Amino acid sequence: MLKINEIFFSLQGESSKSGLPTTFIRLSGCHLRCQYCDTKYAYHNGENLDIKSIIKKVKNYQSKHVCITGGEPLLQKSVYPLMTQLCDKGYKVSLETSGDKSAVLVDNRVKKIIDIKTPDSKAGVSVHFDNLKNLSNTELKFVICSDKDFNWAENFVKENNLSESKILYSPSFGEVTATHLAEKILSSGSSAQLQIQLHKYLWPNKESGI
């Protein structure tokens, strides 16, 4: 049984798969309080569903791409068999996680999108370093809230020998412009890929279901 906040169909707004039609499964509950969080409604609200019921709802949509998000999905242990069963049924599954919980037990077929928390996120946590040992089928995302965050992220990548990994820098909406972050990436020689929250531009007045 899992506590589910919402299941919906939209365009993937983040990661290297940005723009792809995707079915989202948003799990309830999060132990973090990032200052830029745009899904606070998922902290507590939701309904309990078993895996069979969740997959039945997913089948209502046409896409074979499924994104498990939150909240923090890895707080609910039943998310592991959910991801495996979705993969077994031919879905291309991705997982969005904060990175401070170990993701080593996640099915290898699942693309992990690990959101490394920067100092100005105010999350007050650090990455679980087991998550950096095997980065196959993994993307590392940094939400950049300031120039300080940018410098911190660059140092993190260098200190952990991650320059050959898939690195995404996303501007914190309303704090750093995409243009400013693009210029920082270009002027610094960073290996990171600029990634914007596509859904924020497509549906600026909508809070959920995007």
User: Would you say residue 38 lies in a domain?
Assistant: yes
Q: Is 14 a domain residue?
A: yes
Q: Flag whether 208 is in a domain.
A: no
Cα–Cα dist 2/65, whole Å: 20
Provide the domain limits for residue 32. 2-202
Predicted TM-score of the model (pTM): 0.92
Across the chain, what does the average pLDDT equal? 92
Q: Classify residue 209: in a domain, yes or no.
A: no
The number of folded domains in the chain is 1
Are the CB atoms for 203 and 197 separated by under 8 Å? no
57 found inside a domain: yes
Tens-place pLDDT, residues 72-92: 999 999 999 999 999 999 999
Query: Each residue of 133-192: pLDDT tens digit?
Result: 889 999 999 999 999 999 999 999 999 999 889 999 999 988 999 999 999 999 999 999
Q: What is the CATH number of the domain that holds 27?
A: 3.20.20.70
Domain for residue 207, yes or no? no
